[in-house]
Amino acid sequence: MKTFYNPDHILHAARQEMFRGRMVACHEVPARFDFVMRELERRPLGKVLQPSISDIELDAILASVHSERYLNFLEGAWAEWVAMDPANVERDALPSVWPMPNRHGFRTDRLPENFAARMGAFAFDSGCPLTAGSWTAARKGAACAMAAAQDVAAGARSAFALTRPPGHHAGPDFFGGYCFLNNAAVAAQTLRDKGVERVAVLDVDYHHGNGTQTIFYERPDVLTISIHGDPLTEYPYYLGHADERGAGAGEGFNLNLPLAHGTGFMPWIRALDQALDAVHHYKAGALVVPMGLDTFEGDPISGFTLKSGDYTTIGRRLADADLPTVFTFEGGYAVDEVGVNAVNLLAGFQNAA
């Protein structure tokens, strides 16, 4: 499989994130990318190349998964942050005030002028710093996802979008969880646009793919599935329950498989089999896998206990679905092991095929 990588990922390198009342070092660091790249050099899976996607193409696909208001906000956010206070150039932007939906009667068509307030209107946590280069990094990352999906639509068995920041928490008009633009949604929509009638997204990151779920919640043409830590105790908390099944025309086309903190490989792989059954019954024509490696036992912010060798099995099992597959790089914060775990999964997939 080809890897489409984002050399501009480095433009997004935040200093600190808010965690329980204090600022702590970011978990989502540029070195994560380097470890995956280094492991791909050690155990090559195919060509490693930059995407060639035009701005027009990219704008169009972003506009089909995110709102115009949100994209405009993100594009101008850093300049507005610095305009608030020139000293802000030394600090990453974080929100500190949020609308309470259904309480204040807040409407997204009546945004406040104050930047900090507007930032809160588009964000769902204070742990996702926006830096001078976040927009460009995220945008170039979305181009990788689009290129990977185009490659698969053109007949490749699989492709990998290697980029950061990750994307699966980014919704139609919100960011959070280290994510700004939803790379997996971009890949799924690209496959749809290329004529794949039914696309399945199977999110294996430790955290519920709340952004992807929300983007496709009312659509029957993209089945969204997520296996993740139970939102009763795990981030992102407010979504990811088993009874969220989709709405309207999308009813029945969202499947959440929450598992308790502490879950090990055997119950995890049973959930994967359940997910793959759903993909099969849906008669998907292609698969998108938001690939988080934070299910690993050594992950500092997660609670499953998968081991490095388990990722090979997961890759193999995903290959059994026998579908053209796009992988996007999501979480995984045991930085030293993230490359080995990612390539184990991808190689497990590729060598099974």
User: Catalytic amino acids?
Assistant: 169
Q: Contact between 141 and Zn ion (CB under 5 A)?
A: no
Residue entry with tokens 């912010």 = 301
Contacted entry of Zn ion, ligand OKP, none for residue 19, CB cut-off 5 to 8 Å set by kind:
ligand OKP
3-state secondary structure of 256: strand
Binder to ligand OKP among 39, 234, 330, 337 (CB under 6 A)? 330
Residue 168: closest CA among 214, 131, 107, 118: 214
Report the alpha-carbon distance of residue 154 to residue 10 in Å, rounded.
29
Q: Contact between 301 and ligand OKP (CB under 6 A)?
A: yes
* Tokens matching residue 136: 């460009």
Q: How far is the CB of 244 from Zn ion (least distance, A)?
A: 18
Q: How far is the CB of 196 from ligand OKP (least distance, A)?
A: 25
Q: Which parts of 243-302 interact with Zn ion (CB under 5 A)?
A: 292, 294
Q: Contact between 294 and ligand OKP (CB under 6 A)?
A: yes
Residue 165 preceded by cis peptide, ω within 30? yes
Q: Contact between 207 and ligand OKP (CB under 6 A)?
A: yes
- Find residue 199's DSSP bridge partners: 222, 286
Q: Check if the beta carbon of residue 130 is closer than 8 Å to that of residue 81.
A: yes
Q: Contact between 28 and Zn ion (CB under 5 A)?
A: no
Q: Contact between 292 and ligand OKP (CB under 6 A)?
A: yes
Which residue has its beta carbon closest to ligand OKP? 331
Binder to ligand OKP among 51, 95, 129, 177 (CB under 6 A)? 177
Contacted entry of Zn ion, ligand OKP, none for residue 178, CB cut-off 5 to 8 Å set by kind:
ligand OKP
Q: Starting from the edge strand earliest in sequence, which strands make up the sheet with 254-259, in order?
A: 48-49, 2-5, 158-162, 325-329, 286-291, 199-203, 222-229, 254-259
Report which secondary-structure segment, H or E, holds 325: strand 325-329
Q: Other C-beta atoms within 10 Å of 88: how many?
A: 15
Binding marks (x or -) toward Zn ion, 187..226, rule CB under 5 A? ------------------xxx-------------------
Residue 203: closest CA among 219, 190, 215, 195: 215
Positions of E strands within 93-236: 158-162, 199-203, 222-229
The span of 72-80, 84-92, 156-164, 323-331 binding Zn ion (CB under 5 A) equals 323-331
Q: How far is the CB of 330 from ligand OKP (least distance, A)?
A: 6
Q: Contact between 235 and ligand OKP (CB under 6 A)?
A: yes
Residue 250: closest CA among 282, 275, 272: 282
Which residues here bind ligand OKP, judged by CB under 6 A? Answer: 19, 127, 166, 169, 177-178, 205, 207, 235, 292, 294, 301, 330-331
Which residues here bind Zn ion, judged by CB under 5 A? Answer: 205-207, 292, 294, 331
